[in-house]
């Protein structure tokens, strides 16, 4: 496996970890959904999954995570404004 493919896999798995980690932190009351850190986990996670999915031409996760990004960005603007 080439270094580029390994990097893309790492980015994808980091994205999964960010989203699942954020959800876990919310579920156990460590973070609040209105916190910027939670929304940044969602945003970065979705970007990572998109990068990985596009490299595999797997478009369903791309569509889901584009929507996830729109929600996260909207929430970020709500939090900071």
A 10 A CB-CB count for 19 gives 21
d(CA 26, CA 33) in angstroms, rounded, equals: 7
Tokens of residue 27, six digits: 């579920």
Residue 29 pLDDT? 97
Phi-psi sector, 31: left (phi>0), alpha (psi -120 to 50), beta: beta
Q: Which residue has the tokens 């850190």?
A: 37
The distance from CA 11 to its chain's CA centroid, rounded to whole angstroms, is 10
- Residue 1: pLDDT over 90: no
pLDDT in tens, 21-57: 999 999 999 999 999 999 999 999 999 999 999 999 9
A 10 A CB-CB count for 50 gives 21
- Residue 3: pLDDT over 90: yes
């Amino acid at each position: 496996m080439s270094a580029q493919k390994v990097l893309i896999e790492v980015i994808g798995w980091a994205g999964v970890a960010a989203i699942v980690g954020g959800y876990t932190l919310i579920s156990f009351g460590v973070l609040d959904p209105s916190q910027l850190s939670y929304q940044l986990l969602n945003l970065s996670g979705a970007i990572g999954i998109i990068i990985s999915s596009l490299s595999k031409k797997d478009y369903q996760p791309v569509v889901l995570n584009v929507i996830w990004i729109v929600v996260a960005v909207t929430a970020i603007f709500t939090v900071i404004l």
